[in-house]
Homo-oligomer: A and B are copies of this chain.
Amino acid sequence: MDPLQIGQSRPRGDAAAKVAGREPYAADAYPDNRLWARAVRPGVPSGRIVGLACDAALAVPGVVKVLRAGDVPGSNRQGIVHKDMPVLADDRVRCCADAVALVLAESPAAAAAGAAAVAVEIEPLPGVYDLDAALAEAAHLVHADRPGNLLARATIRKGDGADPLARCDVVVEGTFTTPVQAHAFLETESGVARLQPDGTLWMQVSTQSPFRDRFEIGHALSIPYDRIHIEAPCLGGGFGGKDGATVQCLLGLAALHADGRPVKMVWDREESFVAGYKRHACRLHYRLGARRDGTLQALHARIWYDTGAYAHLGAEVMELGMEHAAGPYRIPHALIEGWCVHTHNPTAGAMRAFGVCQVSFAFESMMDLLAQRLGMDPLALRTANALVRGDTNCAGIHLETSTGIKACLAQVARHPLWREREIWRRQAPPFKRRGVGLAAVFNAAGYGGGVRDAAIAKIEMDPTGHFIVHNAVSDMGQGNSSAFMQMAGHLLGQTADRLRIRQPDTRTAYPSGSSSAGRTTYTFGRALTFACETLKSRLLNRAGLMLFLQDDDDLVLEPDRVRHIPTDRSVTLAQLGAMMSAEERVCLGQFVAPTCKPVPDTATGFFIGFPHVIFSYSAHLARVEIDTLSGVVQVTNYLAVTDGGHVINPAMFHQQIQGGVAQGIGYALYEDFITHHGRVRTEDFTTYIIPGALDLPEIVSVACVEETEATGPFGMKGIGEVAMNGPLPAIANGVADAGMGRICRAPLTPERVLDNGVRAPATAQLQK
């Protein structure tokens, strides 16, 4: 067995355990003597609670307690930045997900029966269920204590803003809408909790943010954060939906009232669909102006995000979308306006590529409209305007880090899927049309300005000379654990069997932020490299001591020993492990991600999360074939060329890109989380459709090798999100290229394709 190496394609370290069902998830914990907790969610999107009778519920056999708002000891408010979501609603309900009571019972069945027996009387109130209603004069207020329904309102103004549009040779315009998307992870929200004899609240939970959870729980339930102990085993998917409290505060509340018994909560799919966070639905209005030669000149973008009842990260989602609103292009003048709007819809929050996949759809559609208007090749138009390092992007950020979009586009240009597109298009079978669409996209990595984006990594050698990476950023399935093992193995010269990973535990690992924002491997990984380098130099030093060498030159760390090359003498790691003290066998490394200084003065109304300094880039190509009889769009081939810096593990790199593209294809063609007057109409996978393996084309992923990101571990940067942004615009551009018209409303369902291609005029139009 060879030592792990950076750049080597390797199977995921957790593959065997996961395939065999051995990997323990939070939902797999069945502590003895457990209680089960279940929330009572009346499903009323807007109303006043006028009665809540629990007697019948308490009479259900097996029901132990029914808790209500008055039983919550703290602020009873949760939320990542803005803490506005009640753990249990006190007097008002603001969306169908609001929980009004929490049943503790001896079994899931008893909990469900108890929840059904809680008598809730709610006086309905008026509600606002779409952007226009929420923004209307004298609209009903989702939060009565706020002056309006705007969670946030912000502007980016670069150069002369929108004014130069009037002087552009050409201006194109379009209005786009994007749907609510559900995370649809395999593993629903779940966890177990217990109030320990020492008063500590212990919780094992499916979470992307174990360290931050302590503050959310602590705030809601009035518990000091250092009395909360979170363990985060591997997640069966997260995609942002487990960033921030889901079951945590309810579980904590249950544990406080469980007389020391463990409490378990697992949301079923229906509860997950109702109560889980969602991707923001969006409306976008774009006007884009250029010179006759295709040089982009000015942009005016207006973007409305429906953030639902509670804040979650709504303002940050809007800000990130605005920061990306003009794509990876040079545009000297831009006015980008954003509105983040409360409605009584389910709460929207973090989801992979948050805010950005919406604007990518709009802007990349606009680029094809512009190409069409100018009679230009869409790839040439993109290439001509693509950002390079040293440019200033549309948010006014001077790009000092790797900026690979031009190289990605060049790879697309060289690829047969692009070069041979005409032949392929002409070979469409009867009743089919074929088109090839492009998208050039990017996605910031990291939290952005004003937020601490840092990690503290810990590596340990145990007394037997084996290594433990103490991961502090949850592994949602994206494979960061495997990347960390590969980094540690590479730096320490170790084989896979000598390395273990311990998943996040707030008692033994260190605050390193959430597993999100394309930051996980980048930020924690960089901290880990420092920890490993310290440990390596310490091990060589101690071996030099044991071998009584005059210095540590010519010592090498090998899988089971430190060897002195000139003499071939060695000390085994077991000997070193036995000799070294516990404090000596642990090394910490810390890293604070680079921040943008000075902050450009382009943005107003922004809270935190702006600007970013690291971006990943991707050029996507979709070949689509449309059945003109049914309107079904089939993606027959997909190419994603990605600048993610230096690649740690090519196989996993491509897998993550393929996963992102797959989720993006779902967003483009199938996924549409529908509510009607605030009530969920897509309650499960029978109506909320995600693509299966047979719905997906072969997804070719190519790494752009021209760029490495100097600030990242081994030159890498995060690619968890960027792939999500390409499919919707690339497919929409492909559908248009097939002559089916421009569709500006996602997903591109057969009905919309037929409506559009056959009779509807495109919403987007050419101005001037």
List chain A positions with a Cβ less than 8 A from chain B. Answer: 226, 449-454, 456, 510-511, 537-538, 541, 544-545, 548-553, 579, 581-584, 586, 588, 590, 592, 594-595, 597
Contact A584 B588 (CB under 8 A): yes
CB distance from A203 to the nearest CB of B (A): 19
Cα A658 to Cα B449 with chains together (Å): 58
Q: Which of B449, B454, B581, B588 contacts A544 (CB 8 A)?
A: B454
Contact A451 B537 (CB under 8 A): no
Cα A538 to Cα B587 with chains together (Å): 12
CB distance from A526 to the nearest CB of B (A): 13
Cβ contacts A to B, 16 pairs, < 8 Å: A449-B550, A451-B550, A452-B548, A452-B549, A452-B550, A453-B550, A454-B541, A454-B544, A541-B590, A541-B592, A550-B595, A551-B592, A551-B594, A551-B595, A583-B586, A584-B588
Cα A70 to Cα B454 with chains together (Å): 64
CB distance from A504 to the nearest CB of B (A): 15
Contact B588 A551 (CB under 8 A): no
Cα A668 to Cα B226 with chains together (Å): 66
Which B residues are in CB contact (< 8 Å) with A590? Answer: 537-538, 541
Q: Give 7 nearest A-B pairs by CB, closest first.
A: A541-B590, A551-B592, A551-B595, A550-B595, A583-B586, A452-B550, A452-B548
Which B residues are in CB contact (< 8 Å) with A579? Answer: 226
Q: Which of B454, B551, B583 contacts A452 (CB 8 A)?
A: B551
Q: How many copies does the complex hold?
A: 2
Which B residues are in CB contact (< 8 Å) with A548? Answer: 451-452
Residue of B nearest to A211 (CB): B545
Contact B545 A454 (CB under 8 A): yes
Cα A18 to Cα B216 with chains together (Å): 54
Contact A511 B545 (CB under 8 A): yes
Contact A541 B456 (CB under 8 A): yes
Which B residues are in CB contact (< 8 Å) with A582? Answer: 583
Contact B595 A452 (CB under 8 A): no
Contact A552 B592 (CB under 8 A): yes
Contact B592 A510 (CB under 8 A): no
CB distance from A530 to the nearest CB of B (A): 10
Contact A592 B544 (CB under 8 A): yes
Question: With A450-B550, A544-B452 given, is the CB distance from A538 to B584 under 8 Å?
Answer: no
Cα A38 to Cα B96 with chains together (Å): 88
- A226-B579, A453-B550, A510-B581 are known contacts; what are 16 more A-B pairs with Cβ within 8 Å? A451-B548, A452-B544, A452-B545, A452-B548, A454-B541, A454-B545, A454-B551, A537-B590, A541-B590, A541-B592, A544-B592, A551-B592, A551-B595, A552-B592, A583-B583, A584-B588
Cα A452 to Cα B541 with chains together (Å): 10
Cα A452 to Cα B550 with chains together (Å): 4
Residue of B nearest to A596 (CB): B550
Which B residues are in CB contact (< 8 Å) with A583? Answer: 582-583, 586, 588
Which B residues are in CB contact (< 8 Å) with A456? Answer: 541
Which B residues are in CB contact (< 8 Å) with A550? Answer: 449-453, 595
Residue of B nearest to A593 (CB): B551
Residue of B nearest to A588 (CB): B584
Residue of B nearest to A527 (CB): B541
Cα A541 to Cα B582 with chains together (Å): 23
CB distance from A228 to the nearest CB of B (A): 14
CB distance from A576 to the nearest CB of B (A): 13
CB distance from A351 to the nearest CB of B (A): 24
Contact B588 A538 (CB under 8 A): yes
Q: Which of B537, B551, B584 contacts A510 (CB 8 A)?
A: B584
Which B residues are in CB contact (< 8 Å) with A226? Answer: 579
Cα A222 to Cα B597 with chains together (Å): 64
CB distance from A549 to the nearest CB of B (A): 6
Central interface residue in A537, A581, A583, by most chain B CB within 10 Å: A583
Which B residues are in CB contact (< 8 Å) with A454? Answer: 541, 544-545, 551
Cα A18 to Cα B710 with chains together (Å): 54
Which B residues are in CB contact (< 8 Å) with A449? Answer: 550
CB distance from A299 to the nearest CB of B (A): 28
Cα A553 to Cα B511 with chains together (Å): 19
Residue of B nearest to A541 (CB): B590
